[in-house]
Amino acid sequence: MSKAQWFTRARFGLFIHWGLYTLPGRGEWIFARSDWQPGEYEKLMEKFNPSGFDPYEWARLAKAAGMKYVVFTTKHHDGFCMYDSCCTEYKVTNTAYGKDVLAMLLEAFRAEGLRVGLYHSLPDWTHPGYADEESPEYIRHQRLHTPTAEEHRAFCDYLYNQVECLMTRYGKIDLLFFDYTSRTKKGMDYFDRKRILEMVYRHQPDILVNDRLTYEKEIDLDFDYYTPEVAVMNQPLEVKGKPVAWESCATINGFWGHVNNAGKCRELISLTGGLAGCVSVDGNLLLNVAPDAEGRFSPEATARLTELARWFESNGESITGCGKAAYPPPFGSCYTAADNILYCHLFFPPIGDMILPQLKGKVESISLLRTGETVEIVPLWGYELLKEDDLRIRVPLDAVAGDVLRIVLK
């Protein structure tokens, strides 16, 4: 059994961006994108005191929505650690709150039966050994220092030690999500990646590590899974000519880190459609929700997760454990599949009958998954230029966008 099997079955995870940047509420890049007086950003530590933080609540919402794992930002590019790091004082245990939020979060999600993953930023804007055109000094002043060889070595050691701390002090970790190697580092091994990976697998032999330690795909390393960003792929992902496990990350409301008055979340149909779309080409969806300074999900996000839970309750069997189907889907839908069942995800209620390509003579029964109602197979008529192997079906009038047809094959 491949060690990625749980991951490719899981199909749906929760991404959480939470850090010091949450307090100003202008996204996770705000340290780079705003002018700060020396020490001003760090002073946010005195204000970090999320009285509403209840990781069990997050875990319950995620679980009900059908998510099977969580990925949490242990450290973003600003360098601030949301765990009790052994390598820096710039960490959550030194804030007004004083508690190790990572330890609390892991305990809660594990207790709810979810797998746990750690996001860790490779860029670190606090370290003199790191320089990049996407760093604050460049974004704010178009300046870029060149670290000395010793500084850069010290940076690689710092990164290594941070990751080792995470791999050894927090129990079994299922996923490691490194983010990211900038395109300006193309062709370089800027992070001493093989040394890091050797250490990670030594401590956590079953862990799955993503692909962002390098900008190139075609290198002499195989990653456990691959992470396209904020898009549903049109086909299964292949690397070096072989199919790979992959996960697309996307946001519930357009932002990774908390944004004040972000308002609306994406429509439910975007979320269920995006999720089904990923699964239809053998991928996962990692959906980001950003807690606020109090440690709460916004009312809009909570409401949407609750709607997702209702959707998942009726339709979850079309997601978990499913993958690509062997048939092309009809207009306005996509297929997911498991064993001898095809799941047809309706992006909108059809205007009339649906024409299922290549399924004539192959279907045992069809029903609307949410209600169990039978979906009638109707005779071919002729004027709509049906192909010989098409199957024409009549979806009940009360079908809604996001509904799923359960097609049992003979």
If one asks whether residue 124 binds ligand GLC (CB under 6 A), the answer comes out as no
Q: Nearest distance from residue 212's CB to ligand GLC, in Å?
A: 8
**Which residue number, 119 or 343, has a Cβ lying nearer to ligand GLC?**
119
Q: Judged by CB under 6 A, how many residues of this single chain contact ligand GLC? A: 6
Q: Residue 228 class from Cβ within 10 Å (0-12 exposed, 13-18 middle, 19+ buried)?
A: middle
DSSP strand pairing (69-75 vs 12-16): parallel
Which 8-state DSSP code applies to residue 101? H
**Which residue number, 12 or 335, has a Cβ lying nearer to ligand GLC?**
12
x/- string (CB under 6 A) for ligand GLC, residues 19-38? ---------x----------
Dihedral sign computed on CA atoms, order 302, 303, 306, 311 = negative
**Which residue number, 173 or 287, has a Cβ lying nearer to ligand GLC?**
287
The size of the chain, in residues, is: 410
Decide: 119 and 15 in contact? Cβ < 8 Å: yes
Torsions phi, psi for 188 (to 5 deg)? -110, 150
Q: Nearest distance from residue 348's CB to ligand GLC, in Å?
A: 29
Measure the CA angle with vertex 216, ends 211 and 222; round to 5°.
Answer: 45
x/- string (CB under 6 A) for ligand GLC, residues 157-176? --------------------
**Which residue number, 124 or 403, has a Cβ lying nearer to ligand GLC?**
124
**Which residue number, 67 or 334, has a Cβ lying nearer to ligand GLC?**
67
Q: Nearest distance from residue 147's CB to ligand GLC, in Å?
A: 22
**Which residue number, 28 or 100, has a Cβ lying nearer to ligand GLC?**
28
Q: Nearest distance from residue 85's CB to ligand GLC, in Å?
A: 18
Q: Nearest distance from residue 134's CB to ligand GLC, in Å?
A: 8
Cα–Cα distance between 145 and 136 in angstroms, integer?
11
Cα–Cα distance between 22 and 291 in angstroms, integer?
8
CB-closest chain residue to ligand GLC = 256
**Which residue number, 133 or 376, has a Cβ lying nearer to ligand GLC?**
133
Cα–Cα distance between 181 and 62 in angstroms, integer?
29
**Which residue number, 228 or 323, has a Cβ lying nearer to ligand GLC?**
228
Q: Nearest distance from residue 36's CB to ligand GLC, in Å?
A: 18
Which 8-state DSSP code applies to residue 26? B
**Which residue number, 132 or 179, has a Cβ lying nearer to ligand GLC?**
179
x/- string (CB under 6 A) for ligand GLC, residues 49-88? ----------------------------------------
Q: Nearest distance from residue 180's CB to ligand GLC, in Å?
A: 6
If one asks whether residue 229 binds ligand GLC (CB under 6 A), the answer comes out as yes
Name 246's bridge partners. 226, 283
x/- string (CB under 6 A) for ligand GLC, residues 255-294? -x--------------------------------------
Q: Nearest distance from residue 28's CB to ligand GLC, in Å?
A: 5
Cα–Cα distance between 281 and 237 in angstroms, integer?
8
Helix (H, G, I), strand (E, B) or coil at 364: strand
If one asks whether residue 179 binds ligand GLC (CB under 6 A), the answer comes out as yes
- Residue carrying the six token digits 């490194």: 178
Q: How many CB atoms lie within 10 A of CB 365?
A: 12
Decide: 243 and 221 in contact? Cβ < 8 Å: no
Q: Nearest distance from residue 136's CB to ligand GLC, in Å?
A: 14
Instruction: At 173, list the tokens.
Output: 């970790």
274 alpha carbon, distance to own chain's centre: 12
Q: Nearest distance from residue 71's CB to ligand GLC, in Å?
A: 9
Q: How many CB atoms lie within 10 A of CB 385?
A: 7
Q: Which residues contact 273 (CB under 8 A, 6 or more apart)?
A: 334, 345, 347, 402
Site of interaction with ligand GLC (CB under 6 A): 28, 179-180, 229, 249, 256
